[in-house]
Amino acid sequence: MGKDLITIGTFEFLADVQIIKGKLESEGISVTLKDENTVGIDPFASNALGGIKLQVHRSDEERARLIFDQVRNYALDDDGNLVQCPNCKAQKSEVIYLRNTLWYKLFPFFEPKKYRCTNCEFITKAN
């Protein structure tokens, strides 16, 4: 069953993912939330776990991504403007934490914020 699921988004807070989950389910798409209970009990664990993963069946992935892209919020800079990708100039970036070193895995709150463009997948550091 787990091999048939695709993660289409990750969320730091349970309230944020519930909105998207409700929209997808109203469109007839079955949704699974990985790590939902752990983060619900201990919100500070969200960073350590990499957030709550919104998962759908592989067969629903394309339709789910289209719906998700219509309702998602993109990253804003300190002035409240959409973050622009330096590679493709799209304004469709999301905050991402890579946790690619032992230090950041043990102390995730020290990792600097980065943005990943949802258009070209380019990753850049926040200013």
The pLDDT tens digits for 19-41 are 899 999 999 999 999 988 888 88
The pLDDT tens digits for 56-100 are 999 999 999 999 888 877 888 888 889 999 999 999 888 887 878
| DSSP-derived 3-state class of residue 63 | helix
**Would the CA dihedral through 74, 77, 80, 81 be positive or negative?**
negative
Q: Note whether 54 and 22 are within 8 A (CB).
A: no
Instruction: Tell the residue number behind the tokens 């804003």, with chain if given.
Output: 76
Q: Note whether 79 and 46 are within 8 A (CB).
A: no
